[in-house]
Amino acid sequence: MKYKINPDAVYREINGVYYVLLPRDKTIHRFTDVGSLIWRLIDKNFSESEIIKEVVNQYDVEEEVVLNDLENFIKELVEKKILLKIE
């Protein structure tokens, strides 16, 4: 599955950390280092499997841990309409 960033989202990278705002909810979302990496990869149209491989390589963690964390992160962003599913 692939996702895209909601075109209404306004985001900036400051010192390697992403801050995202959807004008309709007026809430600023701040991502961790890993969340910021995932955001960059989604912005580059990486698939879930490609994101998992990249996170495993950069942070030397087990693939199962990354898969679970990625699913939760994406689910939250989709629920908040920050990310949109694409086929």
Q: What residue segments make up the domains of the chain, in order of their start? A: 2-82
Tokens of residue 52, six digits? 């998992």
Quick: pLDDT tens for 19-67.
999 988 889 999 999 999 999 999 999 999 999 999 999 998 999 999 9
Please tell me the pTM assigned to this model.
0.88
pLDDT of 87 above 80:
no
pLDDT of 73 above 90:
yes
Count, residues in the chain: 87
Query: How far, in Å, CA of 35 to CA of 4, rounded?
Result: 15
Helix axes 63-79, 48-59, angle to 10 degrees: 130
pLDDT for the residue numbered 1: 80
